[in-house]
Structure 1
Amino acid sequence: MEVENWIPQTLIEFVLVVLFSLSIGLEQRKRFPKEKQTFGTDRTFAFIGVLGFLLLLADKETLIPFLVGFVMVGVFLAIYYFQKIKIEGRYGLTTVILGLITYSFSLILLKNPHWFSLLFFVAVIILAQIKKPLQDFSDEIDSEEFITLAKFIIITGVVLPLLPKETGLDWLPVSPYNIWLAVVVVSAISYLSYLLRKYAFPKAGLLLTGILGGLYSSTASTIILAKKSKETGRQPKTYAATIVMATAMMFLRIYILIVIFNVALALKALPYFIVLFGVTLTVGFWMYRSGKDEVSASQPILDDRNPLEFKVAVVFSLLYVLFSAITQFSITHFGQQGLNGLSIIVGFTDIDPFLLNLFQGHYDVTSHALLAATLQAIVGNNIIKLGYAWFLSGEGTKKWVLKGFGVVLLFNIAAILLLYTY
């Protein structure tokens, strides 16, 4: 029997109002010393919440008593605010806003499901408590980050819904909506990695640098870390381990994309990606552990370039359309053999547009063929990363990169052979 069936709804709502109001009051008491508390704290906020609840019960239809009470409470809070400015010279509105929110909480309970009211409860308590961390964070954040956030909102919430979901072209099996959705998803993963690397872990060690960089772009991370290993001339095992870890995160990132766009393919690919991700992670971690006694080097700095640049989105979109057309042509004229050949060639370029096209496209091929093409493209991508690491790394790092990628490629090729065998 559910709780709400034997406990009156009004009692539940009253208890929630009292708890919320008291929590706000206790937070205010903790934040301000007694000599600065010109406005009440715990009991006062509790009474404000209870007053709003009682006046709401008086007339739930027109809300007239509730609105009159809101105006009266607002007048008293305005008097308090101007007196605070006069006496203390402080202009902060937090206490006034919290007083009005406390009074209005009962209305939120009435008009919304309880899960939303509780979420609102938690959000207000947290926001009231984290003033200092927010101030510290705002001091560190670059002003350009707000432009970056605005770009992300535009490409996600403005451009995407406006695009047509149908395509009238025989040679292009995906719609403009699908194309831009791929841009949005890849940008979201890159943007999250960028934010974590820049703000959550600004002084990340080599290993964490590779992990976060691999979520953004394993190829870019490989190039930067390889060059850094040559510059420092130290920690060859650690740099090699970091490069391998970036590739491990590539497997994770690609599988996340499969889950988002093609659930049926994700179920078939799961055992293969678990093994490949696990093997690559194990190799990288073993190399890192064996290199812990190496002389410490300066921390590498990955490229903090804005991942949401418009030209990057345009190039990605154009590549997506190009690979869509080429894939459609290859499958139409050469069948699965054409897809296999194309996947091997594409592996030596940027594989994300090609893979997303496979995951999203409606091609006349089996999920077995799609998974094979995906693993073949990954092999080519890993070979090209091995080439970058070999030519750009320091002498000590080269042999460890070769060993690490050798194991990864061996398992990658074995997975493809197993797929073709069964």
Structure 2
Amino acid sequence: MILLQHTLWGQLVLVLLFSFLTGMELRDYHQQFHADNKQYSFGTIRTYAFTGLLGFVFYLIDPYLYLAGFLALTSIYLLLYWQKLHAEQSSILNYLVWAITYSYAPLVMTQPLWVLASVFVISVLLLGSKTAIHAMAAKLDGSEVTTLAKLVLLSVVILPLLPHEVINQWIPVSPFKIWLAVVVVSSISYLGYISQRYFFPNQGVLLTGIFGGIYSSTATTVALSKKSVDYPRLSYKMTAAILVATGLMYLRLLGIAAVFNWQVALNLWQPMTLLALLIFLVSFVFVRLEHRHGVQHQITKDEHHNPLELKIAFVFAGLFVLMAVITQAITQYFGEEGLRYLSLIVGFTDIDPFVLSLLNGQYHTTGEMIASAVLIAAGSNNLLKALYAYVIGEPKSGTYSAIWLIIFGLITIALGWFYY
């Protein structure tokens, strides 16, 4: 088909073919969705084939003639649209499909064939997906459009404007890297939130742990611990979900390291992957115990909080800078040993700003030491989650979760402290 585009007769064949198929799809659309309604339109199959042919002839003779033809036929459609308004029909879908068909000739003559094919395929998909699109729009929260605009603002508008130079010796990161960290973490969190809310709206407990672990294992531990109180007979499954969220935390930190500092990621991939696999194995054991001894219940749907807020993004950027300053001071005055103790303490807070400041800053330390600090912070964060699970959760689930989180927390800290 690509060879056809390089000859004039081949271009004519392509225009007629795609115009004919567009007309067929429009006819099927009317039969499927408007079979009982009288529709004012330009026609369907033959009319759209003639539309493509007319556009081809006019554009071949003179582009200005092509434009004049478009304006003349649009004027005719205005008369038709006037009649539609009297019949209380306001849709301009027919005109839009006709205008796209009229553009096939210049597309095939001036652009690569994939452009015409893409326009045709998108048009067909939009025509045939009316029910699915309306169903999706009904489920979509209007605030999500605003949220998506915020993500575009963070990544496309603000990020390219920021300088790449390090701010000063006490803030050893550039504004670009600070905001890039905000964009990456916000994007990962938002994708996890969207997946959980829209693609798996009636997810089970385990999927809650999986998707929750993508954007915050600590918040997921708290949420599942609270939920375990309402479902005390699901203690094994709740424990498995909490542990899965922590397993995803290891993989998420490894992925972030791969984005910002490949050398650190190479140092981390073995211990992080091993820890994730081990915790997934323990989770699997609890799932099997649930199947053997537990009672099946339907978990009610939770309201998921959107993690992408501009206020949160600015707070994250501020914490990032603060952690960079503290890390620079600690490494300069106390060396690598001080960094280890700092990592141990920071693990009892939100570790993402600290980890990202380590990965993006220019400190007087090695990649191995940064990997060590990341592991220690992750391990102490597990101890914090163990405390949350034990205090907030249902006794049985909270105890199981706390024990295993403490075990993996201590193992992670030991690996970070002695492995490097």
Amino acid across the alignment from 1:212: F
1:52 aligns with 2:52: no
In structure 2, the residue matched to 1:210 is 209
Q: Distance in 2 between matches of 1:283 and 1:364?
A: 38
In structure 2, the residue matched to 1:25 is 23
SS in 1 for 2:291: coil
Of 306-315 and 213-222, the range deviating more from structure 2: 306-315
The equivalences for 1:5-404 within 5 A come to 8=6, 10=8, 13-14=11-12, 16-33=14-31, 36=38, 38-39=40-41, 40-59=43-62, 63-86=63-86, 88-293=87-292, 294-299=294-299, 301-302=301-302, 304-402=304-402, 404=404
Of 222-231 and 69-78, the range deviating more from structure 2: 69-78
SS in 1 for 2:296: coil
Q: Distance in 1 between matches of 2:174 and 2:355?
A: 16
Tell me by how many angstroms 1:251 deviates: 2.1
SS in 2 for 1:136: helix
Q: Distance in 1 between matches of 2:39 and 2:379?
A: 66
Q: Distance in 2 between matches of 1:265 and 1:235?
A: 39
Of 237-246 and 259-268, the range deviating more from structure 2: 259-268
Contact 2:205 2:238 in 1 (8 A): yes
Q: 1:409 to 1:144 in 2, by over 3 A?
A: same
Measured against aligned partners, the alpha-carbon deviations of 1:41-92 in whole angstroms (never above 9, x if no partner) come to 2333233223323433334xxx213212222332343344334444x43211
Q: Distance in 2 between matches of 1:15 and 1:251?
A: 56
Contact 1:228 1:300 in 2 (8 A): no
Q: Distance in 2 between matches of 1:276 and 1:371?
A: 14
Contact 1:279 1:408 in 2 (8 A): no
Q: 1:180 to 1:29 in 2, by over 3 A?
A: same
Q: Distance in 1 between matches of 2:395 and 2:252?
A: 30
Q: Distance in 2 between matches of 1:83 and 1:9?
A: 42
Aligned length: 414
Q: 1:343 to 1:410 in 2, by over 3 A?
A: closer
TM-score of the superposition, structure 1-length normalised? 0.88
SS in 1 for 2:233: coil
Measured against aligned partners, the alpha-carbon deviations of 1:10-35 in whole angstroms (never above 9, x if no partner) come to 56655554454334222211111267
Contact 1:206 1:300 in 2 (8 A): no
Of 317-326 and 4-13, the range deviating more from structure 2: 4-13
TM-score of the superposition, structure 2-length normalised? 0.88
Q: Percent identity?
A: 38
Measured against aligned partners, the alpha-carbon deviations of 1:305-359 in whole angstroms (never above 9, x if no partner) come to 2322232122211110110011111222233223222222211111000111122
Tell me by how many angstroms 1:417 deviates: 6.7
Contact 1:344 1:380 in 2 (8 A): yes
Measured against aligned partners, the alpha-carbon deviations of 1:206-260 in whole angstroms (never above 9, x if no partner) come to 1111111111211001001011102322200010111111112212322222222
Of 182-191 and 41-50, the range deviating more from structure 2: 41-50
Tell me by how many angstroms 1:154 deviates: 2.3
Q: 1:115 to 1:31 in 2, by over 3 A?
A: closer
Q: Distance in 1 between matches of 2:91 and 2:408?
A: 58
Measured against aligned partners, the alpha-carbon deviations of 1:156-193 in whole angstroms (never above 9, x if no partner) come to 23332333332442101112222122112211112222
Gap runs ≥5 in structure 2: none
Q: Distance in 1 between matches of 2:56 and 2:288?
A: 60
Measured against aligned partners, the alpha-carbon deviations of 1:237-290 in whole angstroms (never above 9, x if no partner) come to 010111111112212322222222223333443333332332223322332233
Amino acid across the alignment from 1:223: V
Q: Distance in 1 between matches of 2:359 and 2:288?
A: 36
Of 333-342 and 225-234, the range deviating more from structure 2: 333-342
Q: Distance in 1 between matches of 2:357 and 2:395?
A: 38
Amino acid across the alignment from 2:58: L
SS in 2 for 1:292: helix
Q: 1:123 to 1:342 in 2, by over 3 A?
A: farther
Q: 1:74 to 1:318 in 2, by over 3 A?
A: same
SS in 1 for 2:216: helix
Q: Distance in 1 between matches of 2:328 and 2:381?
A: 22
Amino acid across the alignment from 2:290: G
Of 4-13 and 387-396, the range deviating more from structure 2: 4-13
Measured against aligned partners, the alpha-carbon deviations of 1:384-411 in whole angstroms (never above 9, x if no partner) come to 1112112211122134314543564466
Q: Distance in 2 between matches of 1:393 and 1:384?
A: 14
Of 140-149 and 93-102, the range deviating more from structure 2: 140-149
Of 226-235 and 31-40, the range deviating more from structure 2: 31-40
Please report the RMSD computed on the Cα atoms of aligned residues, expressed in angstroms: 2.8
